[in-house]
Amino acid sequence: MQENIGKYPHRRYNILTGEWVLVSPHRTQRPWQGKQENALQKHGVEYDPDCYLCPTNIRASGEKNPKYESTYVFVNDFAALMPNTEAFSFDKGLLKAEGEQGICKVVCFSPNHSLALPDMELKDIEKVITVWKKEYEELSSLKDINHIQIFENKGAIMGCSNPHPHGQIWAQRSIPTEVLKKTKTQKAYYVANDRSLLSSYLDQELELNERIVSINETFVSLVPFWAVWPFEVMIVPKRHMSHVGQMTDREKSDFAEQIKIVTQKYDRLFDTSFPYSAGIHQSPTDSVHEEWHWHMPFYPPLLRSATVKKFMVGYEMFGMPQRDITPEIAAGRLKAL
């Protein structure tokens, strides 16, 4: 029964990862006496002399940033992966390890220290998307690079060390776990149905219209049926494309519009600069992956105000993710903003 999933404990299946989430809608009434955090602050100054990402400043590595005027990309001074790592493997009994090669880049979205994606003009968000396309294409042509992860960590609550608007790109030899899961599910569906999994999913969501947050000619933003984070959103292109390199100019501006709409709704939700981790999941670059339909999930930690965060602890560390507010209620609140 459709109405049961709005009332009673149940688990929902994530078609992309093959995993489950526990949903407990009846718990949204329980009293909260947990942690109260100070409201997050918007950052006011356009230029901060102490910021290592602002134009003309000197970074910890001693390098000086150029006087950039739109976007600026550089190799991370404290990279988690390095291109010249030796290709070694360690295999001893039950202990196994491999050397991992890669490149980590930082993408400054704007020279203006005070802006975030929701505050930027559409044409400037489009420039960021152009950088993502170019980096995906360039990095994918490199030897030993089989996957490219584009992402943004926004807000101190997400462990972001600098408020200057920026994201990261980690390109590496191996294909990471989350991407392997999504490759497997999408491939199985594509082989069986000759259609991408997300094309069929979008058809169903558009028909039901229960979890759609925003829509334009070529993109849909929705709260996935299997969302784990309270206000999780996924931006999906309507057209089946494996990676961002395949976007047309029209799609690029529609994508920019959806990023702006979703992040503006987020800021309005709790009247704060809304923190999140967002990233683009797309085709690995080891070979052609026609099964892949790229998408951009946003994972925000806030639950009921600018100061109350959802924690992934206890049962969630030992069992599986759990949420109280249903994805339908979350989508309704975001849509109404």
State the minimum distance, in angstroms, from the CB of residue 166 to Zn ion: 8
Those residues whose C-beta lies under 8 Å from the C-beta of residue 296, and which sit 6 or more positions away, are 234, 235, 236, 259, 278, 279, 280, 281
**Could you give the residue numbers annotated as active site?**
166
Question: Nearest-CA neighbor of 167 among 260, 61, 74?
Answer: 74
Structure tokens at 124: 């400037």
State the minimum distance, in angstroms, from the CB of residue 298 to Zn ion: 23
Taking CB under 5 A as the binding criterion, the range among 50-58, 83-91, 221-229, 250-258 that sits at the site for Zn ion is 50-58
- Cα→Cα distances 314→23, 302, 320, Å: 15, 18, 10
Identity of the residue, 131 or 213, whose beta carbon is nearer to Zn ion in the bound complex: 131
Interface residue with Zn ion, options 15, 16, 23, 54 (CB under 5 A): 54
Write the interaction track for Zn ion spanning residues 261-300; mark x where CB under 5 A is met and - where it is not. Answer: ----------------------------------------
Identity of the residue, 114 or 199, whose beta carbon is nearer to Zn ion in the bound complex: 114
Identity of the residue, 108 or 244, whose beta carbon is nearer to Zn ion in the bound complex: 108
Write the interaction track for Zn ion spanning residues 96-135; mark x where CB under 5 A is met and - where it is not. Answer: -----------------x----------------------
Residue 282 identity: Q
Taking CB under 5 A as the binding criterion, the range among 119-127, 158-166, 197-205, 303-311 that sits at the site for Zn ion is 158-166
Residue 51 interacting with Zn ion (CB under 5 A): yes
| DSSP label at residue 103 | E
Residues touching Zn ion, count (CB under 5 A): 6
Structure tokens at 207: 């028909």
Residue 166 interacting with Zn ion (CB under 5 A): no
Residue 164 interacting with Zn ion (CB under 5 A): yes
Identity of the residue, 107 or 330, whose beta carbon is nearer to Zn ion in the bound complex: 107
Interface residue with Zn ion, options 15, 16, 23, 53 (CB under 5 A): 53
Phi-psi group of 76: left, alpha or beta (phi > 0 → left; psi -120 to 50 → alpha; rest → beta)? beta
181 and 15 Cβ atoms separated by less than 8 Å:
no
284 and 12 Cβ atoms separated by less than 8 Å:
no
State the minimum distance, in angstroms, from the CB of residue 279 to Zn ion: 22
Q: What angle do CA 191, 195, 196 make, to 5 degrees?
A: 95
- To which residue do tokens 């209620």 refer? 329
State the minimum distance, in angstroms, from the CB of residue 164 to Zn ion: 3
3-class DSSP state of 25: helix
Identity of the residue, 40 or 234, whose beta carbon is nearer to Zn ion in the bound complex: 40
State the minimum distance, in angstroms, from the CB of residue 44 to Zn ion: 12
State the minimum distance, in angstroms, from the CB of residue 150 to Zn ion: 20
Measured distance CA(337)–CA(333) in Å, rounded: 7
Identity of the residue, 153 or 242, whose beta carbon is nearer to Zn ion in the bound complex: 153
Those residues whose C-beta lies under 8 Å from the C-beta of residue 258, and which sit 6 or more positions away, are 214, 216, 219, 221, 235
DSSP letters of 262-288?
A: HHHHHHHHTTS---EEEEEB---SSS-
Chain residues in the site for Zn ion (CB under 5 A): 48, 51, 53-54, 113, 164
